[in-house]
Structure 1
Amino acid sequence: MALSVFINTYIFCNHLGQLLYNLALKQKAVQSSTSGTVGIAGKAVDGNRDTNYQRCCTHTSEDLDPWWRVDLLAVYKVSAVTIINRQDAVIERILGAQILIGNSLEQNGNQNPSCGMIKSLDGTPTYTFQCNEMEGRYIIVIIPGTKRYMTLCEVEVFASLSVLLLKPLNES
C-alpha cells in the first residue's frame, strides 16, 4: 500500500515511457514577497495540483521582477519542469514567466540559464517545458522587466528515475 502512494505522489511517466521523479515536492521554496497570509511559497511544492488560489497557490505582492525559487538541495539533471497556473481568476498573471535552472543565487538566480517561458495562454492550467537534462540545484520562476503580481499553483521539477538511482551530481 505504501508503495502505491509513493508511486502516485512522486513518480510520473512521460510521453517516452520514462519514469520521472518530482524533485521539488516538499522542498523549501521562497519568493520575492508574499501577498496576504495564504499565498506562501511552499504551496507550489505541496503536491496539490488544485488551481484555486485560496486553497493551493502562491501569491507575491506587486513586485518589480517577481520571482519564486525552490532549492533541490543538490545538483540534478532536470528533464522537465511543469507549472500549474491558477484558473479561478487573473490567469494572465503567469504570462511572461521564465523558468531558470542553475546553481547561482546571485541576483536571486535570475542569471541562470533558461529552460522555457510562458509566451501565451492556451486555456490549459498546465505548462510543461522540456529542459534536456539542464543541470542545477535551484529552479527559479521569474517575470522579468515588469512590476506585477505572480501566482503559481504548483511547480514540478522532473528528473529521470535512472539518474536518481545514482548519486546527485555534486556528490563525490
Structure 2
Amino acid sequence: MSYDLTLLVPNIKEININDWIKDMEKLNTKIEIHPEFSFKDHNGFLPFKVLVTDCLNESLNSIYLLSGFELSVHDQVSEISWIDKIMNRKKENNKALIISVSANDSFEMRLAWYSAAVIANRHNGKIKDHQEGTIIKGERLIEEAKKIVQKYEESIAADNWKSHEFKEWL
C-alpha cells in the first residue's frame, strides 16, 4: 500500500522547521526531525523521532518511536488559463512536496497528514490527496487531517499496529 499527497506551497524557504515542530505538538504529536534534514536538498525517506499521547493503541503512547515518510521536493509551475491571461495574472511558481506513505509503520499516515496540514496552513498552501481526488486548503486543512488520521488509526486492529522504538537516527 502506498498513499500519496502533494503539498503545494509558494516558497519552501519560508518554512520554519521550529514552527512545524510546534504546530505538530498542538496535534498531540511531538516530533524531532532528522538533524541533517533540509528542504534544499532532500529526496527520500525523512525520519522522525515521534512521541504521541493520544494513540488509540494506548501501549504506544508516551514512547519515543522512529517513523517517517518519503519526501521529494519539485518545482511546480502552474498553467495559465485564458481568464488569467485576460486579467494579466502571472503563472504561480510553487514548490511541490511529494509525500508518500507506506504500510511499514502505523504512524506514517499521522506524520504525513499532520505535517502537510500544518505546513500548508501556515504558508497558504494546499494539499492534493491523490487517492480521494481532492484538494484541501484554507481553514479546513487541520480539521480534515485530524479526521483522516483518526479514521485511519481506528481501522488498525489492536494487534496490527506496526511501530519501531527509537534507538538512534538512521
TM-score (norm 2): 0.32
Higher fraction of strand: 1
Greater CA radius of gyration, 1 or 2?
A: 2
Higher fraction of helix: 2
TM-score (norm 1): 0.31
